[in-house]
Structure 1
Amino acid sequence: MPAGEGPAAVRMGGRGRLQAGSRNSRWMGGILIVVLPLRDGIPNVYARVDARPAPGSASGSGAGAPRRTPCAGRRRRPQRQEPPISPGTPIDMAYTPFLVERWMSAHEQRARFNLGESGVQPLRLGELLALAEAAGRTGARRELDELVLTYDETPGTLELRRRVAALYGIEPEEVLITQGAIEANYLLFRALVEPGDAVVSMFPAYQQLYSAAAMAGAEVRLWRLRPEDGFVPDLRALERLLDRRVRLIVINTPHNPTGTVLDEAALRTILAWAEDIDALVLCDEAYHGIVHGGGTVPPAARTLSPRAVSVSTLSKTMGLAGLRIGWLAATRPIVERCWGYRDYVTISVSRLSDALACLALDLRPQLLERARAIVARNLAQIEVWMERHAGDFEWVAPRGGIVCFPRLRRTADSEAFCRGLMEQEGVLLVPGSAFEMPDRVRIGMGEDPGVVASGLERVSRYLAGKG
């Protein structure tokens, strides 16, 4: 249809493509979708919330039942309550509470000893700039003083994307800079998954890696890492979950929360199976570069195949969570599609964060070495502590990353255990119920070793008090 010629409706086709329809408006789940005349060949889509409920929805008792709109009356704001860790009743059919984030939001700012954190001890800005000056970047402070605080380039500056691309041997156009790895993952689920697809995800896992797929309407198949196997991934169990309905295989290595690691051979096997069924592999590599005991660091998935999407961040291993910088490395069509969805949410990252991220990636060897040293010291003292408390904990030593996931021997209620520990000793752990394994706790190994030592002493005191 020529530009400007009459109204045309659109509908979402395969993989979200817009296709012409025969009407200029329709109801979708209580939303009135109106497609206005084409402008420059592009349908203008307008949507608004209406009081009319969708047929068969739970908004009312039957057809035509009224539905409360956001402006329909006021209610007194309830007193703030601590968010529950258990899922409870979802707000709606598409939403599942993010249990780890609810727990951390409720407790991390009050903890005296934060052993629940999943990243390495954060740097101060002055420390980062001092490292830069020691490395010969004497003009770094002046460059920041002169930085214009405007919008950043929406995919990230070319300077930053070049640095990220160099990690994978790809072009800057194959990188999208995001607000942490969490935005990169969310954009990928939004851009690549549609109702009816199947997604295979490791479990337990950072909840986003399977809940976001379910929220996108996918059938989620869990690739379970079993404690009795030492959380070592069973590739044959994964193979049994695969068929041609699978759109995305989601992996995380080094793994949060268990600390298991997929080696290069396992990565190549998974990528070959993805090729066989025409699927993609999303590899969350937030802990890439930290492998314990002299183990070999496997290659990033994106370096092995164009079917892989590598997602990473400056938050976990670089100690720069406050910059909120992450990225995805993928083929150009995937990057461009994610970029399009990103226009609707955050638009870009902070210009200041982009500049500091460039500086951090120039210092990546030094920052990774710092992280490895901190984690190695903490892992050593946690190993000794676990031996002392063998009657209280059963644990599998992590092979990589910054967290471990021991089992509580004396109780299966990790949430009650962690609440009591926080209230009595000011020590924050993450209950395994946040990972749907309620007899475990997650312990972070990235804090200052003195803080970890003091925190473990207080856990010992808490255990002694419980008899």
Structure 2
Amino acid sequence: MDEYEVTARFNIAETCATSISIDDVCTWAGVGPGAIFPPSRRLVYGSIRGSDALRKNLAAIYNNDSNNNNSATPVSGRGLLKENNFLITNGAIGANFAVFYSLIGKGDHVICHHPTYQQLYSVPKSLGARVDLWRTSAEDGWELDLDQLKKMIRSETKMVVLNNPQNPTGKVITKSVFESVIEIAREHGLYVFVDEVYRPLFHGILPSDPEYPPPAVHWDYDRIVSTGSMSKAYSLAGIRVGWIVSRSLEIVEACAEARDYTMISVSQLDDQLATIAMGSDCNQKIIERNIKLAQKNLAILDDFVQNHVGKCEYVKSRAGTTAFIRFFRDGKPVDDVAFCKAAHAYGAFMVPGNHCFADGADFRGYVRIGYVCATEELEAGLKALEDFIQKEYESLPLAV
């Protein structure tokens, strides 16, 4: 991404739902630009843990998301989430780091859902933990194998790491599978850490579906912690606001102590814009817009895949913003790095899957595409990809 993104003509590798502006937020929230940040306000650090207003808005979103799901198991005797269950961070990347730094150390064992965002297994490894990847495959629909999880648990296992919805596949961990993971973790006293940065961008499963997953912290288990962000589902990556949420105030306090080593507070301007965007007048409009965009664009991507049967295949994404597509020739995977470099020359920027996600797995020929960009950019990027396939695909090297 660092090497090629700046020079890309059509960025179909982007993992954020296409970005919105301050004007968009103000329009949907029904406020003027002055509401974002009055020019007379002094630019002090602001609220260290995030403003009460932002954390209350987040609590309302999580409580509604949990309570409106009729299929979800009620949280027994725990009540609603409150602002002190949330800690505001510098994006989800800062949230994830704080969770690992707080809860994981040398000699611990971590089990991480795979494939996924590299931070989720590289950071605990850097802290001295042993990390085993809980691998999934396209052949099994990227489904988690619960029996495999049971076999992976050791005496020193401390945490199971999940990503829901999943990057890069767009897989949804369903309610029943999620519940089973939590019960296994409860039996062994393990932390369950869930990166929910793409939540609630579920565009292939409805909240009325019995398998629609509620937020991770919906369940009554003290060792669950999750993270979220304004970047992906809420289209505001530029404000760098993320959060940690747990029903355990002990976990929140531990993360707050760790966070003190990396930041004091998020910008007051960012906090205020996030507060307005996550208010009841605005956040639903953002999600509705992005779900419609995801559904429209995924149909375009799916047409592309169906029009190239014999050259590519995938397990269709159900959530989030990314799809993991396997390209092959004569039944053999192409070199995904060569594929992406050659396609980039035609204007289509994508991420090579085996190069970026494999970590011992075989993702040769896989390419990650971010399809919730502006529709025009996706169409232009796929047109450039089509031109490349017609002219140079047959000369591409195969993966070794």
The superposition leaves residues 411-466 of structure 1 with CA deviations (integer Å, 9 ceiling, x where unpaired) of 442112111211x2121101101112342000011111111011101101001111
| 1:389-404 alignment, distance < 5 Å | 389-404=308-323
Residue 14 of structure 2 aligns to which amino acid in structure 1?
A: E
Change (3 A) 1:384 1:149: same
Partner of residue 367 from structure 2, selected from 438, 441, 451 = 441
SS in 1 for 2:47: coil
User: Are 2:255 and 1:348 aligned?
Assistant: no
SS in 1 for 2:87: strand
Aligned residue for 2:43? 149
User: Are 2:20 and 1:123 aligned?
Assistant: yes
The superposition leaves residues 214-243 of structure 1 with CA deviations (integer Å, 9 ceiling, x where unpaired) of 111111111111121121222222222123
CA shift, 1:332, in A, is: 1.3
SS in 2 for 1:145: coil
SS in 1 for 2:123: helix
The superposition leaves residues 277-304 of structure 1 with CA deviations (integer Å, 9 ceiling, x where unpaired) of 1111001111112223344441001111
Work out whether residues 179 and 326 of structure 1, in 8 Å CA contact, stay in contact via their aligned partners in 2.
yes
Which whole-Å CA distance do the structure 2 matches of 1:160 and 1:184 have between them?
16
Change (3 A) 1:142 1:151: closer
The two structures, once aligned, show a CA RMSD in angstroms of 1.6
Which deviates the most, 167-176 or 456-465?
Answer: 167-176
Residue 244 of structure 2 aligns to which amino acid in structure 1?
A: L
Normalised by the length of structure 2, the TM-score is: 0.87
Change (3 A) 1:114 1:175: same
CA shift, 1:147, in A, is: 3.7
Aligned residue for 2:158? 247
Which deviates the most, 430-439 or 193-202?
Answer: 430-439
Residue 458 of structure 1 aligns to which amino acid in structure 2?
A: A
Change (3 A) 1:149 1:258: same
SS in 2 for 1:369: helix
Aligned residue for 1:158? 52
Which whole-Å CA distance do the structure 2 matches of 1:207 and 1:283 have between them?
14
Partner of residue 277 from structure 2, selected from 334, 348, 360 = 360
Partner of residue 217 from structure 2, selected from 296, 302, 311 = 302
Which whole-Å CA distance do the structure 1 matches of 2:381 and 2:6 have between them?
15
Change (3 A) 1:161 1:401: same
Which protein has greater RCO, CA pairs closer than 8 Å, 6+ apart?
A: 2
CA shift, 1:393, in A, is: 0.8
User: Are 2:92 and 1:181 aligned?
Assistant: yes
Aligned residue for 2:72? none
Aligned residue for 1:314? 230
SS in 2 for 1:223: strand
Change (3 A) 1:312 1:401: same
The superposition leaves residues 182-232 of structure 1 with CA deviations (integer Å, 9 ceiling, x where unpaired) of 111111111100111100001111000111111111111111111211212
The superposition leaves residues 77-133 of structure 1 with CA deviations (integer Å, 9 ceiling, x where unpaired) of xxxxxxxxxxxxxxxxxxxxxxxxxxx122222211110011100012222222222
Which whole-Å CA distance do the structure 2 matches of 1:356 and 1:431 have between them?
35
Partner of residue 297 from structure 2, selected from 378, 388, 404 = 378
Which deviates the most, 410-419 or 288-297?
Answer: 288-297
CA shift, 1:143, in A, is: 4.5
CA shift, 1:141, in A, is: 3.6
Residue 343 of structure 2 aligns to which amino acid in structure 1?
A: L
Work out whether residues 234 and 286 of structure 2, in 8 Å CA contact, stay in contact via their aligned partners in 1.
yes
Q: Percent identity?
A: 34
Aligned residue for 1:291? 202
In structure 2, runs of 5+ residues without a counterpart are 64-79, 395-400
| 1:32-181 alignment, distance < 5 Å | 104-133=1-30, 137-138=31-32, 141=35, 143-166=37-60, 167-168=62-63, 169-181=80-92
Aligned residue for 1:463? 389
Residue 416 of structure 1 aligns to which amino acid in structure 2?
A: A
In structure 1, runs of 5+ residues without a counterpart are 1-103
Which whole-Å CA distance do the structure 2 matches of 1:404 and 1:142 have between them?
35
Aligned residue for 1:84? none
The superposition leaves residues 314-363 of structure 1 with CA deviations (integer Å, 9 ceiling, x where unpaired) of 10011000010110102211111111121111221111000000001011
CA shift, 1:139, in A, is: 7.5
Which whole-Å CA distance do the structure 2 matches of 1:345 and 1:311 have between them?
17
Which whole-Å CA distance do the structure 1 matches of 2:55 and 2:202 have between them?
26
Normalised by the length of structure 1, the TM-score is: 0.74
Change (3 A) 1:300 1:142: closer
Work out whether residues 165 and 329 of structure 1, in 8 Å CA contact, stay in contact via their aligned partners in 2.
no
Which whole-Å CA distance do the structure 1 matches of 2:213 and 2:304 have between them?
29
Change (3 A) 1:142 1:434: closer
Change (3 A) 1:400 1:139: closer
- How many pairs were matched up? 360
CA shift, 1:138, in A, is: 4.9
Which whole-Å CA distance do the structure 2 matches of 1:154 and 1:288 have between them?
25
SS in 1 for 2:45: coil
